[in-house]
Structure 1
């Protein structure tokens, strides 16, 4: 536990004790800790330890998390890149996130080549935002082309497929459920 975290425990104990309208002597007796020890702890002159904090938390009707400040985890997302059949996926969310966010780069459509959609179906919803290029999105029987700055949202139980709409690549942000992550990282188009 970092030192700055330890210095916050005493004031928190005092704050909770006062919210409970307890005197120092009352909490001292109930927790089985001397009044002088409790006073020094609240003033930051005594280092907190579990032997002191656990009975105090119990008598105040609190969990240890209420007395010991949580440290915020590093909010940065480790960047990983995965290539699947020419499609580049860059992670923009933590693996533990309830939704997965990726920057996806789809290669341009080859000259003279046509792609036959291999639609995917799975539980969840997907949100797309086109950063650059033009995106061909097939949803069931419907086909739409999205340009830079356009967004789409759809139910992933509808058969869906996407590719670049022209010879240049398309970059997009995609947000979907973990089930969607599994499907998208193995999906591919079928060249004709």
Structure 2
């Protein structure tokens, strides 16, 4: 069975970071063009340089989660949709599935933290594993509900005016519309599993 899965996935080509970067860039370019927007218009709204966004669309540069968030907002979509939507994928039927190997990677650094997206093709929910350090220099606000589970280390989650220190095994869930940010203490790193509503489940 595992050979059959590998064969079906292998038919789509290389799943490495370079291939993933090109796929993400192609999604951004296709959506931008469908919106009738120029590179400059999206770059200005996302607070990025025209040249950087051009490189991203060609798969030659990688974006942080902050940059992807701003690009998604400029295009009227979500990070999850840009990360997982596959225009060439066949519609998902009952019983469809994907197997994700430990060696698979994504082209994002999540602000300096490696990230793996464990979903594709318009999922209802998007699980992601992120590790490294986080700073609270940006407030995040999105419509999607989110669940965060700490796998290793310690993470401080700030929900509006409330602050929670989460240890390994702790978790937090919050509804969409709540402004939030994460941070790790100086010299510490963390690994977390997050689950957000995807393009098929967002309100």
TM-score range, shorter chain: 0.3 to 0.5
**Alignment TM-score, normalising by the size of structure 1:** 0.48
- Which structure: larger Rg? 1
Larger % of strand: which?
1
**Alignment TM-score, normalising by the size of structure 2:** 0.45
